[in-house]
Amino acid sequence: MSSAEPTEQTGPAVRSHSEHSEHSEHSEHSEHSEHSEHPGNAPRPAPMPGLAESARLLADSSTTSTTLVADALARIEAAQPTLNAFRHLRVEAALAEAAEADRRLAAGERLPLLGVPVAVKDDTDVAGLPTHFGCDGDRPPVTTDSEAVRRLRAAGAVIVGKTNSCELGQWPFTEGPAFGATRNPWNTAHTPGGSSGGSAAAVAAGLVPAALGSDGAGSVRIPAAWTHLVGIKPQRGRVSVHPHHDAFQGLTVNGPLARTVADAALLLDAAAGAHPDDFHRPPAVRASDAARRDPGRLRIALAWRPPLTLTGAGPDPEVRQAVAALAETLARLGHHVEEARPRYGLIGLTFVPRATAGIAEFAARHPEPALLDPRTRSALRTGTRLGGRVVRAARSREVRQHHRIGALFDTYDVLLTPTTAAPPPRIGTFDQLSAWRTDVTMAAACPYAWPWNVLGWPGINVPAGFTRSGLPVGAQLLGPSRSEERLIALAAQLEDDLRWYERRPPVS
C-alpha cells in the first residue's frame, strides 16, 4: 500500500514490522509495552456503541450517522499507527453516505443498519476500491460490490473501510510485506490472529461496532478467540461469497465478528442471502431472534482431542483450564456436558487438496506472481498438482464425512472444543519459516477449527477467558448442518451469565 494513494482508497501509511518488533509482553506481572495502555492518566474515550445499540440510537434520533461514521473514522486514523487494522478507508464516500442516511432517517425511513458504520475484510469486493486480499502490488478498483456488501448496503450500513488480511487468507496471523503487521489490542506484541485479523482488531479495539470476516480454516473463529470476540462461521452458503461461487473449493464462508452475540447475529441477518449464481443456498435463519431465545437443556460433548495433524498438538494448559471453566458454566446453566471423541478420521487428507487448490486458483490471478510470498508460491505449486481429479475425489468424500462425524449429533446437540490449542503468538513468530515449518507451526497452534470448513457446518467462537499474562482465548460451539439458531441461542445464554463484553482491551 502506498502512502501516496488518495485518502479515498487507503488509510494512513503503516510503519514497517521492524519499527514495532521490540514491544514487551503485556502482563499484570511485567512491564507494559509502550502501546499497551493510554499514556499517563489521560481518560479513555467512551466506547463506541455496539451494532444494535448504534441502530437503536439512530432510530431514536439520539445521534446521527454522520456523528457515528466520523467517530469511527477518527478512531481508525488514531489507532492505525499502533494496530494497523485497515488496508483501505472510504473517508469521503463514507461521510457522504452517512449524510444521506441522516436524510433518510429524518424522513422516517427505518432499516436494520441504516447509518451504522461497519467494516469488511480485504478479500471482499467494495466498488471503487481494489481487492488486494493481503497481497502486494497494484490492483485496479473493482466496479461492483460483492453480494455480501450489496446486502449490507441494502440494510443501510455504511462501509467505512477494508481491514487487513494475510496473503490470500492462508495463515492464523495478519502480517505481510504489503501492509506490515496488524496487532492485537489486548497486547500489541501479539497477533490478533488471521486471516480476519484486521476485522478482529478493529472490533476488539472499538474502532467499529462490528465487521465482516471470512473463514476458510478458522479465519473468523481464530481471531475472535484471540481478541475476546464473538465470531460466527455460518453454514456454507448462508452469506454469499459471490463473485466467487464456491470459494476455496467450498471451504470459505463469510461471517461476522462482534463484541456481543446480538451484534454478531444482527450483522449475520443483514449479510445473509444468496446470489442467483451461488451453488449453496441453505434456507434462511433468523439469527437475531435466536439470540433472544432460551436454548433449552442441551446435550453437549466436550472434545479435547483434535483431528489428526501429525503435530501431536493438544491444548496449552491455560487454554484447557479456560475451556474447562466454560464447560462448568454450561453445566451450571443446566446443560448435560460430558467428554466425547468425534470420529474425525483422516479428514486432513481431504482438506489439504481443497485448501491448496483454492490458494492456487486465487494466486494464479495475481498480475505480478513474483510479489507473492514464497510460501504462497509453494502452495500454488502444490494446489496445481492436487487440483483436478484429486480435489474432486476429496470433495466427493464430504458426504461420508458428514455421516461419520455427524453421528456425534445422534447423541449430542452441540460439540464444545477449544478454538485454538495456544494463546495468540507473538508478532513475527512465523517470519522466515519455510512453507512446511509454517504449516506445522500453524497446525500445532490451530488444530481445532478447520474440520468444520470441510463439512460446511456452522460454528461460533465465544470468549473463554484470559491467560495469566492477559491474552484472550476462546471456545468453539459447533453444530451439525444448519444449526446456527441453536448455537446462537446457547452463546447468548453464556453471554448473559459471563458478560464478557464488559471487559475491554487496553489499546483502543
* Separation of alpha carbons 167 and 182, rounded Å: 13
For the segment 336-348, the average pLDDT, to the nearest whole number, is 97
**Catalytic status, residue 219:** yes
* Eight-state DSSP code of residue 464: E
Secondary element (H or E) of residue 263: helix 261-271
Instruction: Give 309's pLDDT tier (boundaries 50, 70, 90).
Output: confident
| b/e per residue 227-237 (b: at least 16 CB within 10 A) | bbbbbbbbbbb
Q: What is the tens place of the pLDDT at every residue in 233-264?
A: 999 999 999 999 899 999 999 999 999 999 99
**Over 50: is that where the pLDDT of 167 sits?**
yes
* Separation of alpha carbons 92 and 73, rounded Å: 10
Instruction: Give 44's pLDDT tier (boundaries 50, 70, 90).
Output: low
pTM value is: 0.92
Instruction: Give 38's pLDDT tier (boundaries 50, 70, 90).
Output: very low
**Catalytic status, residue 16:** no
Min mean pLDDT across 34-48, 310-324, 326-340 is at: 34-48
Instruction: Give 450's pLDDT tier (boundaries 50, 70, 90).
Output: very high
Query: Taken in order 435, 436, 437, 442, is the CA torsion positive or negative?
Result: positive
Which one of 33, 121, 483, 508 is the catalytic residue? 121
**Over 80: is that where the pLDDT of 43 sits?**
no
**Over 80: is that where the pLDDT of 151 sits?**
yes
Which one of 33, 199, 214, 219 is the catalytic residue? 219
Closest alpha carbon to 241 in 130, 123, 332: 123
Which one of 33, 36, 165, 195 is the catalytic residue? 195
Q: Which three cell numbers stand for residue 176?
A: 505481510
**Catalytic status, residue 121:** yes
Q: What is the tens place of the pLDDT at every residue in 71-92?
A: 999 999 999 999 999 999 999 9
For the segment 119-126, the average pLDDT, to the nearest whole number, is 98
Q: Which three cell numbers stand for residue 241?
A: 461469497
For the segment 397-416, the average pLDDT, to the nearest whole number, is 98
For the segment 136-145, the average pLDDT, to the nearest whole number, is 97
User: Please, what is the average pLDDT of the chain?
Assistant: 92
Residue 312 pLDDT: 76
Listed in sequence order, the residues at least 6 apart from 414 whose beta carbon sits closer than 8 Å to its beta carbon are: 298, 299, 300, 301, 477, 478, 479, 486, 487, 490
* Eight-state DSSP code of residue 431: T
Residue 47 pLDDT: 83
